[in-house]
Amino acid sequence: MAHQPPKHAVQRLLDNPWLLLALGILIPFLSYSLWGWIAIASMEPARLP
């Protein structure tokens, strides 16, 4: 069997479908959550009549 060169770290990352699935769920979840918290924090308090 011929000696194969080691895989690059990025190629090992992209060859793992479970890691890609987890990143595809976590990154949008975290970014939209952060965006929502920033939007809530920047709102003025509502004035009640």
Res 1: pLDDT: 59
pLDDT band at 44 (very low <50, low <70, confident <90, very high): very high
**pTM, 2 dp:** 0.67
Tens of pLDDT, residues 14-34: 899 999 999 999 999 999 999
**For residues 9-14, average pLDDT:** 88
Q: What is the mean pLDDT of the chain?
A: 92
Per residue, the 3-state secondary structure of the chain, as one string, reads CCCCCCCCHHHHHHCCHHHHHHHHHHHHHHHHHHHHHHHHHCCCCCCCC
